[in-house]
Chains A and B, each alone.
Chain A
Amino acid sequence: MFVPIDPLKTDKNLYLLLTAALARLADAKTGVIENRRFIRYDSGDTIPRLFQPMISVQHLSKHYGDYGETTAIDDVTFTVERGEVLAFLGPNGAGKTTTMRILAGLIAPTSGSATVAGYDVLTHPMEVKRRIGYLPDNPPLYTEMTVDEYLTFAGKIRGLRGRAVTLARDAVLEKCALGDVRGRLIANLSRGYRQRVGLAQAMIHSPDVLILDEPTVGLDPKQIIDIRELVKSLAGEQTIILSTHILPEATAVCQRVVIINRGRIVAVDSRERLSMQLRQSEKLAVRVRRGEGVDLGLIYKIEGVTQITPQEMASGSDGAVREWMIESEMGADIREAVASTIVQQGWGLLEMRPVVASLEEVFLQLTTQAQGVETAYAAGESV
């Protein structure tokens, strides 16, 4: 373990030892200790960097064009905690790439601020760049180089020296399953391999933060699964932001999802809560044995019920079995009343289940009727 000691400042040293011990505790699980850079204590800071969120984006906006007439992102705010995997979900052109490029220090925001590990991307770009690995939507590859040469170069410009370069290179070659092609020219590699070389390049210096812009685009299903597994295996050790317009990807690898559309964040939440919160009405599917005798009027009388729609039954099932979808106002719990009504009437309650919108539905809802959702969201919990 390496603790940089400043002989002149004892209070700082105490702090350094403390943070080093904390980091060591956190790292004991993963065994990554050598590669960590410990957070320096800056007396100017109000909050020590260790205790800040890994990524904090506040009211970030970016306008393009001579007069700023094109808005790429507008008032984007979110934070990512240390070790978290966050998905940036949105249709093409929603502003995902712009946000990531600002975080990577490639472009400057028009207004707002973004910090990585407590360092502002505008005022401390070098500190930020030391801590991030960035995979753009097009992997930045020198096709005339071999995989080995390329990764060695990537390691060197990230500040690795001497034996550390070879070690780090061999480690990522293994992590990304590139051992077979390490001596081949990148120009001759398939799309899947190139994507993995791009990923290897982003993680060669074990950065605190990985920014992956559509890491699985254009890959075959097997390769997509491989990359997802890789990202999952990095979670906890590294903070990861990945963007995608594919939903299952977000659900497969991420703990939290930011849905962005036309430059604005329309929802931020864990994926379970997201689908819960964004239902604008509660839905209850009810199945009864003796469907022919059901009087829907009795159900409508229950307070909160807004709509009942008959559901199509699978053929071959018992002729009298019927199913309805009962919608009710948000927050009104009608389950008990519905159940007791059906039981009292002797219709034979077979099944009753709350219907949770899939993330896919939420996504479509959010991005197609963003207006309605924003108001629903504003009325509900804060983002």
Chain B
Amino acid sequence: MKNIAAIVAKEMRLYFVSPIIYVVAAVFLGITDYLFYAQTMYYAAASAQMMRFQSNLPQMNLHNAIFAPTLMNMSVILLLILPLLTMRLLAEEKKSRTMELLLTSPLSVSQILFGKFFAAGFVYLILLALTLHLPIGLSFFSEVTWAPLGAAYLGLVLMGGMFLAMGLFASALTENQIVAAVLSFGILIGFWLVGAVSPAEGSRAAEIVRYLSMSAHLDNLVKGLIDTRDVVYFATMTAVGLFLAHRVVDSHRWK
């Protein structure tokens, strides 16, 4: 446990001396805020219109109209941005040969990987926490329903775990950070899009494809619905990513 803590501390330190994280945070928050602003404006206009027709639709609530679409948009931005947080983790260690220091120390491969995963996770949680200024800001003007919002954020946290684990796996495959980033884009976009090209409805294949599709699972959570199937999906994907990364790192000994 102390070993993992040592790795986490080191990775955090390296994250915060590198400019990447600041650029990533600035871009992420800028786009998120803009999308939130656009969504809010749209909602304001739409609700004014609704008022005129005197027909208050039940789904015109703050969560469904503003937070759910904003958070879904956020997840797409995260899909493009989180690989930038993970690309460095193993590729850089291999390129600068510092991996040799880690691998000749009494650390297990799991400890190394968990340390890196948790460090990236902390950075991601900080990013997410920074977006909380949106609902908090809005709560001064309107009534925010915190429970479904909490479920939505839980969804983003779980999704982040999967993104980071897959990114770690991609980073384990190469010495080149750009290759690592592009690989994790590929993997994540693959999981994102797999639902879009589903085979014939009702077939067994369609079911499997639908289960693999990330957006459907995220959609439930973002709407405020915590379904164990979705939680299990993200937990499983995270475990798979970490397991694959473990296999890749461990296999270097046998080259």
* Bound CA span A161–B96, Å: 26
Beta-carbon contact of B96 and A129 below 8 Å: no
Beta-carbon contact of B2 and A161 below 8 Å: yes
A157 with B105, Cβ < 8 A, contacts A107-B253, A108-B253, A142-B10 known: yes
B201 close to A (CB within 8 Å): no
* Bound CA span A104–B107, Å: 13
Beta-carbon contact of B10 and A106 below 8 Å: no
CB B11 to nearest CB in A, in angstroms, measures: 10
Beta-carbon contact of B106 and A126 below 8 Å: yes
B14 close to A (CB within 8 Å): yes
- Chain B: CB-nearest residue to A162: B2
CB A140 to nearest CB in B, in angstroms, measures: 4
* Bound CA span A104–B99, Å: 13
CB neighbors of A among B85-141 (8 A) = 96-108
A154 close to B (CB within 8 Å): yes
* Bound CA span A129–B254, Å: 17
A129 with B10, Cβ < 8 A, contacts A106-B253, A140-B98, A157-B3 known: no
- Chain B: CB-nearest residue to A130: B106
Secondary structure class of chain B's binding surface, majority of residues: helix
A105 with B104, Cβ < 8 A, contacts A140-B96, A140-B98 known: yes
Beta-carbon contact of B14 and A136 below 8 Å: no
CB neighbors of A among B1-15 (8 A) = 2-3, 6-7, 9-10, 13-14
CB A362 to nearest CB in B, in angstroms, measures: 32
CB B106 to nearest CB in A, in angstroms, measures: 4
Which has the most chain A C-beta neighbours within 10 Å: B2, B6, B96, B101?
B101
CB A149 to nearest CB in B, in angstroms, measures: 7
Beta-carbon contact of B104 and A104 below 8 Å: yes
A239 close to B (CB within 8 Å): no
**Which residues in A have their C-beta under 8 angstroms from that of B52?**
none
* Bound CA span A161–B17, Å: 25
Beta-carbon contact of B253 and A134 below 8 Å: no
Beta-carbon contact of B106 and A153 below 8 Å: no
CB B224 to nearest CB in A, in angstroms, measures: 42
Beta-carbon contact of A129 and B104 below 8 Å: yes
A224 close to B (CB within 8 Å): no
B59 close to A (CB within 8 Å): no
- Chain B: CB-nearest residue to A143: B96
Beta-carbon contact of B106 and A134 below 8 Å: no
A156 with B6, Cβ < 8 A, contacts A108-B254, A140-B98 known: yes
Q: A116-154 toward B: CB 8 Å interface, digit per residue (1/0)?
A: 000000000010011010101010111111000100011
A136 with B107, Cβ < 8 A, contacts A108-B254, A142-B10, A144-B18 known: no
A331 close to B (CB within 8 Å): no
**Which residues in A have their C-beta under 8 angstroms from that of B104?**
104-106, 129, 132, 134
Beta-carbon contact of B97 and A140 below 8 Å: yes
CB A361 to nearest CB in B, in angstroms, measures: 35
Beta-carbon contact of B107 and A107 below 8 Å: no
Q: B191-215 toward A: CB 8 Å interface, digit per residue (1/0)?
A: 0000000000000000000000000
Beta-carbon contact of B2 and A142 below 8 Å: no
- Chain B: CB-nearest residue to A101: B100
**Which residues in B have their C-beta under 8 angstroms from that of A130?**
106
**Which residues in B have their C-beta under 8 angstroms from that of A106?**
100, 103-104, 252-253
Beta-carbon contact of B13 and A149 below 8 Å: yes
Beta-carbon contact of B98 and A141 below 8 Å: yes
- Chain B: CB-nearest residue to A64: B255
Given contacts A144-B18, A145-B14, A153-B6, 4 further A-B contacts (CB under 8 A): A104-B104, A108-B254, A142-B96, A157-B106
A-B contact pairs, 30 of them (CB 8 A): A104-B100, A104-B104, A105-B104, A105-B253, A106-B252, A108-B253, A108-B254, A126-B106, A129-B104, A129-B105, A132-B104, A134-B104, A136-B97, A138-B97, A140-B96, A140-B100, A141-B98, A142-B98, A144-B14, A149-B13, A153-B10, A154-B101, A156-B2, A156-B6, A157-B3, A157-B7, A157-B105, A158-B105, A159-B106, A201-B101
